[in-house]
Structure 1
Amino acid sequence: MSEKIDRRIVKSQKAIREAFLDALLEKGFENITVKDITEQADLSRKTFYLHYIDKYDLLDKIMDEHLKQLREICEQKKDKGLVEGTIIWFAYFEKHKAFFTSLFQSANTVSFRHRLLHFVMGEIDKKLSESSLNQQIDRQIAVKFLGTAVMGVLESYVLEEISGDMQQVAKQVGEMISTHLSYGF
């Protein structure tokens, strides 16, 4: 019996998330309502509220999934060089470009930007060795500097404010990070 319930839960959550993503692309985050989502998913509002508190909670859960996948990518690319790893990472954003474009364009998704920046900074911090820092450069400032630089380029790429294909942009970002890590600022 519990297997049947689990399948229904998975099916409902999948329908809600797909409806949310469709609405996100069509209307933008600010204009989405729970009613829009449930109508598109052909589910009751009660079903929505069994799984999520509101649209912000739903967005947080979807972001959790993306961050989990990005962590897995970071683990898989450990053996690759920084430039090649950056290309793999940018490819993920290319694959999910419509979703990330909608979020970067939204004024009400500050928590999304903050969580993504925190994630990027954490990955940079892992790569930043003590010996690569100039004695006069604070580690926290170096991580914040590189993290916000990567986020700025990533956001500009996703929003198509930067020309160039994904591999070209990612390669340049990877090379710049590598240069800063190698020369210790």
Structure 2
Amino acid sequence: MGDTVDRRVRRTRELLRRALVDLILERGYDRLTVQDIIDRADVGRSTFYAHYTDKDDLLLSGMEDLARAFEEHMERHFATRGHPNPVLAVFQHADQQRDLYKALAGKRGAEVMRAGLRRRIGEVGARRIHGFLPDQDVALPREVTLEFLLSALLGLLIWWLDDDLPYTPEQMADMYMRLAVPSVRTVYGI
């Protein structure tokens, strides 16, 4: 029974996400209503609200997959001190969802998406920062370093999307690490 329920929940959520993305591409995010989304997905209003609080919550639901992939990449990276590149998940997610990111560019939906990315990636980074920074006191507080790394990552991601993805996700992740890691190692003496 549990598997059937899980399957129905996954199916409903996927229908709602697909409807949202299709409608964003057709009309833009700002003009959409929950009614538009449920009409397109052919689900009831109570079903929508059983899963999401509003259209912003639905938009951000895709960030959960990104956060899981990012955390998994970070765990494996720090366990092996090498692969995979911990930020590769971010660039791959944007590449796979390129139509959505492009449709949101410069609009209210983009603000919601950026805030969601910042929050989800920041939460993972805050949990994992101890894995790559020493415990001793240094000139910079950890939260400043985390904000620097997060701001640089989001800035590069937005630039990359705005410039029509001139590099592969792997190249972007590699360039980010080549810029960020040496500076952090220098400051922290690692």
Q: Same fold (TM over 0.5)?
A: yes
**Alpha-carbon spacing, 1:13–1:120, altered in 2? closer, same or farther (3 Å):** closer
Q: Is residue 12 of structure 1 aligned with residue 12 of structure 2?
A: yes
Q: Distance in 2 between matches of 1:42 and 1:69?
A: 30
1:125 aligns with one of 129, 142, 146: 129
Aligned runs of 1:91-102 on 2, under 5 Å?
Answer: 91-102=92-103
Cα distance, 1:103 vs structure 2: 4.2
The answer to whether the 8 Å contact 2:88/2:170 transfers is: yes
**Alpha-carbon spacing, 1:75–1:52, altered in 2? closer, same or farther (3 Å):** same
The answer to whether the 8 Å contact 2:91/2:173 transfers is: yes
2:157 aligns with one of 151, 154, 157: 154
Aligned runs of 1:1-185 on 2, under 5 Å?
Answer: 6-78=6-78, 79=80, 81=82, 84-87=85-88, 89-121=90-122, 122-123=124-125, 125-130=129-134, 135-160=138-163, 163-184=166-187
Cα distance, 1:83 vs structure 2: 8.0
**Alpha-carbon spacing, 1:148–1:54, altered in 2? closer, same or farther (3 Å):** same
Length-normalised TM-score, structure 1: 0.77
Query: Stretches of 4+ moved more than 4 A in 1?
Result: 1-7
The answer to whether the 8 Å contact 2:70/2:121 transfers is: no
The answer to whether the 8 Å contact 2:94/2:101 transfers is: yes
Q: Distance in 2 between matches of 1:5 and 1:128?
A: 40
- CA offsets 1:62-117 (integer angstroms, 9 cap, x no match): 32333233323333443252784444542232222223334453325545323422
The answer to whether the 8 Å contact 1:38/1:44 transfers is: yes
Q: Distance in 1 between matches of 2:25 and 2:136?
A: 42
3-state DSSP class of the match of 1:164? Answer: coil
- CA offsets 1:43-73 (integer angstroms, 9 cap, x no match): 2334323332321222233323332333233
Most deviating of 88-97 and 144-153: 88-97
User: What is the identity, as a one-letter code, of the residue corresponding to 2:129?
Assistant: D
Q: Which segments of 5 or more consecutive residues in structure 2 lack a partner in the other structure?
A: none
User: What is the identity, as a one-letter code, of the residue corresponding to 2:118?
Assistant: L
Number of residue equivalences: 184
The answer to whether the 8 Å contact 1:28/1:102 transfers is: yes
Q: Distance in 2 between matches of 1:127 and 1:2?
A: 36
Cα distance, 1:148 vs structure 2: 0.6
Q: Which segments of 5 or more consecutive residues in structure 1 lack a partner in the other structure?
A: none
The answer to whether the 8 Å contact 1:13/1:51 transfers is: yes
Cα distance, 1:161 vs structure 2: 6.1
What is the root-mean-square deviation of aligned Cα atoms in Å? Answer: 3.2
Residue identity (%): 23
